A = this chain, B = another copy of it.
């Protein structure tokens, strides 16, 4: 056997999942698990990032949004195959992940056969989805028409505080901004998301994993 070895990285904040993946990947001969990380930022501290062929990427990480992380990696190294993993199967998240260049999407509830199939497909350079996600992709959903707006840093800050139940006054106090400025940001957020009040905004945000 002189076949090329694929260099693999696993990024997941659940050590137990990393172990499971190792177990799953160990019988496959032409791969080597180079590095396992439990957060997103340390990936950029990894020296041999450019040498990686495949990254197993958890969508929900403690530090960085997996969706944004995927885009960052792909911008730097478009050739790296990214296989997204998560526990929940929210259509919008799957779609965003694919839009950001992910080569596949696996639910952690997928069977071992599905995992193996997806790994094979991904190594072969194809898009790979577990059954449940595949079904999700096939159905055309209404929520897709409503694109998820891109938020600025300030807007994210304010949105986070709104989520905690803070009032405009409290937000302006904590961020050292004018009351009127915060009002403007709130209005812009409602407008961007096409919703009519704060609760609808927060519902959309949590349903679509915006933050």
A111 to B203, CA, bound (A): 33
- In this complex, how many residues of chain A approach chain B with their Cβ under 8 Å: the count is 33
Residues of B with C-beta under 8 A to A21: 16, 19-20
In the complex, A200 has a CB within 8 A of chain B: yes
Contact between A13 and B167 (Cβ–Cβ < 8 Å)?
Answer: no
Number of copies: 2
Residues of B with C-beta under 8 A to A110: 15-16
Contact between A15 and B112 (Cβ–Cβ < 8 Å)?
Answer: yes
Query: Which one of B14, B108, B202, B203 contacts A109 once the chains associate, using CB atoms below 8 Å?
Result: B14
B-contact bits for A5-42, CB 8 A (1 contact / 0 none): 00000000111111111111000000000000010000
A29 to B19, CA, bound (A): 18
Contact residues of A between 100 and 145, Cβ < 8 Å to B? 108-112, 115
What are 13 A-B contacts defined by CB distance under 8 Å? A14-B17, A15-B109, A16-B21, A16-B24, A16-B108, A16-B110, A19-B21, A87-B87, A162-B199, A163-B199, A164-B199, A167-B196, A167-B197
